[in-house]
Structure 1
Amino acid sequence: MIGGFQNIPKIPELKKRILFTLMMLAVYRLGCHIPTPGIDGTALAAFFNAQQGTLFGLFDMFSGGALSQMSVMALGIMPYISASIIIELLSVVIPYLEKLKKEGEQGRKKIVQYTRYGTIVLSVIQGFGIAVGLERMSSPGGAMVVPAGGWGFRLLAVVTLTAGTAFLMWLGEQITERGIGNGISLIIFAGIVAGLPVAVVNTFRLMGTGEIAPFFMVLLLAFMIVVIGVIVFVERGQRRIPVQYAKRVVGRRMYGGQSTHLPLKINTAGVIPPIFASSIIMFPATIANFLNVEKIPWLQAVVNTLSPGHIVYTLIYVAFIFFFCYFYTAVHFNPVDVADNMKRYGGFIPGIRPGKNTAEYIDRVLTRITFAGAIYVSLICILPEILIYRLNVPFYFGGTALLIVVGVAMDTTNQIESHMLTRHYEGFMKKGFGRTR
């Protein structure tokens, strides 16, 4: 692997792409520290310290701390992700969008354009909601987060936050085109790992004070390595369905006759299920922060039940993950279309009749491996709860953040390795790091 990294400077284009990506990510991190005008930073920090375990804490993690500082990039890239998911879901029910998806590059450009428009619309709506919410927020000491509110502040906040998200969207597209890896994913990756140094420093501080035993820390590190290895193994795992293409003669040339396979990922939905599940289950706790629930005993009991660490919270969280795993897989992967395409080009699964029977067989296999994928995602996502609330480990580990970090790291490493292999350099692993099983 060390030799593979040593070969990177020998490829000028790859070196240029990596440096460009690092420079753009540095610009993003710099923008996360530019505050939105009209906000009391001290009162805002005190407010967010009391918001752990709510939607604010979740979105702040994805924005790299920009939300808790209310910087110009406070909305992060989440409006773009939401717009992308909405467009993808609408393509199932709107024939025009479904037709665009099948038109190749021109259709893809149209969909990207609609996604950009949707991002701006969502940014304006969310920015206005945040501006109004900020005017009503106060620190535990009673200091107002927005000393001088009104429509002037609201319009300024909407324009600032929308511009920040639009710039991030442009930044991600530039990284994808001129850098290495997926730009949007790398921006989320950078936002998550930005908090890693602070977590490491706090952990060593706790070891110095004796709150964490060194032997226990060694066991925790070993456990982390094992879990990361499991994530890499499962994310690269596939269920390969054998496909045979019949021979056909076109003019004087013969086509087909080869054997291939249809790869089905174990975790087809990726990190979408835990993100959606976290957003929904944290919603009651978020609303409770704006209400005086202490005076309503039954409402206080509901909030406590739906708080991290409670068994009911865990069960509902896992149930949502299972639901969104199946839902997103059904939207993202259509067995009928796959079966029709195979039949059109003379492909068939040995022992299965083409057409409807093939679609049913693929759907049956996909349903089984999605169940295994949902179990895997659920186990990874409840790790923080087990470590923090059951074992009293003061270190955030696992969950959606770990899935995103490992997944983006693997995807970026694969792209770097592809550049090296196309120029006859050895990759990071002699047997190919990115090969699937």
Structure 2
Amino acid sequence: MKNLIKTLKNIWSIEELRSKILYTLLLLFIYRIGTHIVLPGVNPDGLTRVAEQTKNNGILGLINTFAGGAFSQASIFALGIMPYISASIFIQLMTVLVPQFQKMQKEGESGRKKINQWTRYLTVAVTVVQASAYVAYLRQITAQSGGIIPAYVDYFWLSTVVLLTAGTMFVMWLGEKITDKGLGNGTSLIIMIGILARLPQSFMQELGSKSTRSGLILIFIVEIAILIAIIMGCIMLVQGVRKIPVNYAKQIVGNRQFGGARQFLPIKVNSAGVMPIIFAQAVLFLPTLFNLTGTAAGQGIAGVFQDHSNVYYMIVYAVVVIGFTFLYTALIFNPKQIADNLKQNNGFIPGVKPGQPTADYIGSIMDKVTLPGAILLAFVGILPGIAQRLGVQPSFSTFFGGTSLLIMVGVILDTLQQIETQLLMRQYDGLMKSGRIQGRTVTQASY
């Protein structure tokens, strides 16, 4: 405890770090205020059905999670940062598949600015489409409960689409400002703060359900202990790497010697991050669209895939996550490019010939490491369903795994890594004496 207080004092004594922390907290506070501002023309008392529909309901629940509950509250930030994430994922895939985008990515700072500009344009387009769908969704859900004020119906579509688009762009701007002048990745912090906002209410609901009988309090304590153990396991999954030794040939320039150093190429156990889980949830939401047909078969299929604690859902979900993990890793990880960069920089893996043999060796190591990582990621993804089947409240079970837990663990590690870097730059001790903190920013080396 004494070391913790000393570390906090060191953090607060650095003016630049203190300013970044306060700036970040201020912008996050502004975002949380916006999530409670209801759209014009919407009656807040008629939003009960919206909250029920989005509660643990496939992609709608995912959007509501990323928006910090603003989706179910019909807020001006109802779509949150989700359109920007969708646009960023699409542009990221384009940089792998389209040569023109690959060329822009290699142009350095100017190329990065062009890609960011394209991402913003695509975000506006995606937001307009999602906002239109959200208006239709609100009208359908609140038709009987009177969620939309009748006198405002004629203007509701136009005003809502404009406000939701402006709200998403404002949230995107907040995220960029946090990244530039604050602490940590702004987009990730906005998502994390929305997830954490649901934690106190979910915690109290779970405690209330267990406090009715004295014997259940012990079960609640066991649940908390298991949750802590799962968080520790997720930290190991996020930080786990397989280090491939790399040697660099010595070069004599004048009287100086360059190179000759022994370094490591870190291959992450979970290179794909949280993306396979997001893709899997989006894909498994498609069967629920059969509800629109009104057929019995469609309703049966939708019933299976809407229940995250269903055994068949968990099996299919795990298989899809494993498949997407290999697919996404193959898209973002190019062994051939790494082998070529090593060869250009006079680097080589001991016992492996440069060129194609090095690429094949790195690829084989990547496949061996990705398999257990994909299985562990799939297991983390189905943990909320397992917890729900064991009697945990649905709202609290989402913190036992899945997207929410992985995002929180990754973002917290990234932020702590930045704080530790600031401390070490000023010759203070790090946050922990036992070792350095590695966040998700440490990927497949900077080759």
Where do residues 103-252 of structure 1 align in structure 2 (5 Å cutoff)? 103-138=107-142, 142-148=144-150, 152-210=155-213, 213-250=216-253
Q: Which residue of 2 aligns with 1:299?
A: 298
TM-superposed CA distance for 1:240, in Å, is 0.5
Q: Which residue of 1 aligns with 2:46?
A: 43
Structure 1 unpaired stretches of 5+: none
Q: Name the CA shift for 1:309/1:144 in 2 (closer, same or farther; >3 Å).
A: same
Give CA-to-partner distance per residue, 1:27-53, whole Å, 9 cap, x none: 000000111111222222223314432
Contact 1:275–1:400 (8 Å) recurs in 2: yes
Q: Which residue of 2 aligns with 1:267?
A: 270
Q: Which residue of 2 aligns with 1:326?
A: 326
Q: Which residue of 1 aligns with 2:358?
A: 358
TM-superposed CA distance for 1:147, in Å, is 4.0
Give CA-to-partner distance per residue, 1:202-247, whole Å, 9 cap, x none: 1222233228711111211111111111111221111111111112
Please give the alpha-carbon distance, in whole angstroms, between the structure 1 residues aligned to 2:167 and 2:215: 40
Please give the alpha-carbon distance, in whole angstroms, between the structure 2 residues aligned to 1:133 and 1:224: 35
TM-superposed CA distance for 1:255, in Å, is 2.4
TM-score (norm 2): 0.92
Q: Which residue of 2 aligns with 1:69?
A: 73
TM-score (norm 1): 0.94
Please give the alpha-carbon distance, in whole angstroms, between the structure 1 residues aligned to 2:54 and 2:218: 32
Contact 1:55–1:283 (8 Å) recurs in 2: no
Tell me which amino acid in the other structure corresponds to 2:264: H
Tell me which amino acid in the other structure corresponds to 1:76: G
Contact 1:47–1:138 (8 Å) recurs in 2: yes
Please give the alpha-carbon distance, in whole angstroms, between the structure 2 residues aligned to 1:93 and 1:232: 31
Q: Name the CA shift for 1:247/1:69 in 2 (closer, same or farther; >3 Å).
A: same
Please give the alpha-carbon distance, in whole angstroms, between the structure 2 residues aligned to 1:339 and 1:151: 61
Q: Name the CA shift for 1:151/1:272 in 2 (closer, same or farther; >3 Å).
A: farther
Contact 1:54–1:283 (8 Å) recurs in 2: no
Contact 1:76–1:165 (8 Å) recurs in 2: yes
Aligned pair 1:432/2:435, yes or no?
yes
Q: Which of 21, 45, 52 is 2:24 aligned to?
A: 21
CA RMSD of aligned residues (A): 1.9
Q: Name the CA shift for 1:305/1:204 in 2 (closer, same or farther; >3 Å).
A: closer
Q: Which residue of 2 aligns with 1:54?
A: 58
Where do residues 61-100 of structure 1 align in structure 2 (5 Å cutoff)? 61-100=65-104
Give CA-to-partner distance per residue, 1:38-87, whole Å, 9 cap, x none: 12222222233144323222211111000001111011101111111100
Please give the alpha-carbon distance, in whole angstroms, between the structure 2 residues aligned to 1:358 and 1:239: 16
Please give the alpha-carbon distance, in whole angstroms, between the structure 2 residues aligned to 1:211 and 1:74: 40
Please give the alpha-carbon distance, in whole angstroms, between the structure 1 residues aligned to 2:139 and 2:232: 46
Q: Name the CA shift for 1:173/1:435 in 2 (closer, same or farther; >3 Å).
A: closer
Structure 2 unpaired stretches of 5+: 443-447
TM-superposed CA distance for 1:289, in Å, is 5.0
Q: Which residue of 1 aligns with 2:445?
A: none
TM-superposed CA distance for 1:253, in Å, is 4.3
Contact 2:34–2:75 (8 Å) recurs in 1: yes
- Greater shift after overlay, 38-47 or 419-428? 38-47
Please give the alpha-carbon distance, in whole angstroms, between the structure 2 residues aligned to 1:297 and 1:131: 27
Q: Percent identity?
A: 42
